[in-house]
Amino acid sequence: MVDPELGRATIVYDKLDAGQVEITVDNEYIAYFDDHWLVKVGQDDDGNDIVRRIPRDRVQHVERSVEEFQNKLDMMADEARERLPF
């Protein structure tokens, strides 16, 4: 399966020591969980992801291109339906 372009996301938030910060990442590297935005910001020397947790109340806004992201989700759902016996 070839992965389509999943789009990009930009998050703008207030960082205590740096004022307002803007980060742009691929959609697959940003998620919302447990009242925090999680953003992959790199990898350590062992290849483990480094994730920044940004509390919801510090986030000014998040912009995402979601059409391709939705297409990816739809494609994954179709594949799951084909594989699962009904």
For the chain, what is the mean pLDDT?
86
Structure confidence at residue 47 (pLDDT): 95
CB 7 within 8 A of CB 67: yes
Q: Is the predicted pLDDT of residue 64 greater than 80, yes or no?
A: yes
- Token pair 């959609």 is at which residue? 27
pLDDT at 78 over 90: no
| 57-67: average pLDDT | 88
Q: Which of 76, 25, 78 is nearest to 52 (CA)?
A: 25
Largest pairwise CA distance in the chain: 54
Task: Name residue, tokens 């992965």.
Answer: 3
Give 13's contacts (C-beta < 8 A, 6+ positions apart).
Answer: 20, 21, 37, 54, 58, 59, 60
Prediction pTM value: 0.68
